[in-house]
Chains A and B, each alone.
Chain A
Amino acid sequence: MPDTTVPNAHSNQPADAHAGVYRYDEFDKTFIFERVEQFRAQVERRLKGEITEEEFKPIRLMNGLYLQLHAYMLRVAVPYGMLDSTKMRRLARIARVYDKGYGHFTTRQNIQFNWPELKDIPAILHELAEVDMHAIQTSGNCIRNVTTDQFCGAAADELVDPRVYAEILRQWSTLHPEFTYLPRKFKIAISGAPHDRAAVQIHDVGLIAKKNGAGEVGFTVYVGGGLGRTPYLGTKARDFVPVAEIIGYLEAVLRTYNQLGRRDNIYKARIKITVNEMGPEKFIGLIEEEYARLPRQKYYIDPAIVEAIEQHFAPPPWENLPAVSAKFEAAKAADPAFARWTRSNLSAHRAPGYAIATISVKPIGGIPGDIEAEQMEAVADLAERYSFGEMRVTHEQNLVLAHVKQDDLYDLWLALDKIGLGTANAGLISDIIACPGLDYCALANTRSIPIAQQISERFADLDRQHDLGELKIKISGCINACGHHHVGHIGILGVDKKGEEFFQILLGGDATQTAALAEIVGPGFSYDEIVNAVETVVTTFVGLRQPGERFIDTLARTGHAPFKEALYARA
């Protein structure tokens, strides 16, 4: 029998009953409220002085609570980016009641609140638990929120629904007794399709679904990817691990890393350093030895479990629709601004007559990923009306409604546009990833958000953006690379030079299945020069491009030389 917690199709159901989220059963609910009470007691012990701040730190971090430059920040987990309208409304409420009325979507598909007070945290966690949410392991040296493809369950090229395995891994990694005090944080990403939209090769472990010769589904496993100070793309550890064995294999990876990862220097503690200092072959050999001897049957994922979890992610009841919608075609012909949005913000859906819509959380001149409580509520309403009450947070800090009827797209866009979320820029130059930078972060060397805002303003003309085509700018305010500058088509890295902010330009990064690390093009630019420098890169591209080429295509053909020339020849 399927898991009974999945709503019955014929009962009186809430509007988001078909959203593709995992719904807690009695065990999960017991656990999550126990965890809230545990943290409440830990806060009390800290306030009484029974534990030191040093000891409290990892405890609060493992509950998502950071201390930033000006205040505490609470990072709430959005498991593999999936939200339903009930959850989104609760996030809006938390933003309004406990914060300054907004939240911030992150590159790890989570949401951060920048101004909560310590005394309110147990209450916030309790409010989250009421809607099957938590902030567990969104920080700390543990296995973090598993991320995946924002088009999961809707894309046509999917071999497995990555949410099923992301959820299995979420459960497996939750308060894992052995792997909660690792040398450093540990990030896992899963792509259920060969076309990697989850940037898996820049994660500590990346999984990409594939079929073997016998037609069985499994994962190709990459280890040791990561950005930060020392960027590496993951090394392929195994071409094929059957889906049922993936937890066992990951136990072997984590045990090897937990025992051998460096603990003498936090900048050398990620698995990527261990893999590359030891040599990938040797490290992978150790994983294989561990895997060969551990009691595999203990970790074997029973097909019954997979089936039970699959019920949570069953396809919503799509209607049988013609592949082409006359209404949609007519709206595009009548409204050029809408037509432009459809070119950048829609992706192909596997069901005829449906589309995947990306909601840009990057309005021109806005702060990438910031969203107001009222916008969250409006999106929750729109999701209920047009997409089974479901939303996804993307690693590019946008939102996705994955199941929109083509007939409804025009009404959806009009409504989005009214609340400032209708910008036709997904994947374009103003769809910028930026870290919080010096405006919030205690580690940052430079500002990051204002650079993103100025670039967005400079290229505000949407026709120009569309003409430039796909162009991904990613900005980090320090070498820790939270803004993924290493995998930007144009990456920008903020550095401190004798107290002054400077910005280096990197070119040619790629976070997809053709993953590549960007290279620094030359000396940095000042705060006042950097936007002009970006424009120089862009106009150089326009001068060089051949028909149909994207920025990275041209760059791959010409190399960096003409860009370097244009940037530095003037001097």
Chain B
Amino acid sequence: MPVLDHGREIEDRWTDLADDAALPAEGGVIVSLERWRAERDALIARGQPVGVRLKSNQLATELVDDLAHLGVVALEFPKFRDGRAFSAARELRERFGYKGEIRAFGHIIPDQYQFLTRLGVDTVVVPADRVGPAWAHALNEISIAYQPALQDHGTVSLLRRHVKAEIKG
């Protein structure tokens, strides 16, 4: 499925692996949390990049001891209305200092894209029939942010902008 980064389609360097699929000889794979736990040592010993998928009811804390090994954490949106992954992304970055890729997959709409990037999500997996200009557009519709987040691309937060105004005045 197409993967978007900054609103543009990029080449996906990860293979999303089902629990019963054989490990490919080469290349990065993303596995479920359950498979990661079952095959952790083998996956690390494989010497290839590896990542984990979290379901929306699996909290970021499940991975606290694993993050150093993971090149990507993929957060699932079973329904776009299920906003747990927003907190999971933030916890990964802010609480656990995770520096690897965070991607979102599942049912996501462009109107959520800016929120995701503000919370530290790098890439979004989008079904082929839903790729379009709306995604890139969604990143630029709103230029003001009223609260601190993680990656405020060119936006201004309430808590900073008033202080700036103070200095200017």
Contact = CB atoms under 8 A, between A and B. Distances in A.
A181 B159 contact: no
A160 B59 CA distance: 38
Given A34-B143, A263-B82, A295-B94, A177 B158 contact: no
Interface in B75-99: 80-84, 86-88, 90-91, 94-95
B132 A50 contact: yes
Contact of A177 (B95, B119, B143): B119
B154 interface: no
B141 A45 contact: no
Interface stretch (B17-25, B64-72, B107-115): B107-115
A2 B169 CA distance: 8
Contacts, number: 121
A175 B146 contact: yes
A258 B59 CA distance: 11
A62 to B, nearest CB: 9
B13 to A, nearest CB: 26
A176 interface: yes
B141 A34 contact: yes
B59 A259 contact: yes
Contacts of A539: none
Interface string B147-169: 11100000010110111011001
Q: How large is the interface on A (under 10, 10 to 19, 20 to 34, 35 or more residues)?
A: 35 or more
Nearest to A174: B146
Contacts of B137: 41
A263 B57 CA distance: 10
B134 interface: yes
B161 A177 contact: no
Contact of B95 (A168, A171, A173, A294): A294
B118 interface: yes
A258 B132 contact: no
Contacts of B115: 175, 177-178, 180
A180 B87 CA distance: 11
Contacts of A179: 83, 86
Interface in A137-188: 141, 168, 171-182
Nearest to A170: B146
Given A177-B115, A181-B82, A258-B84, A30 B141 contact: no
B132 to A, nearest CB: 7
Contact of B134 (A50, A172, A173, A301): A50
Nearest to B138: A38
Interface in A168-218: 168, 171-182
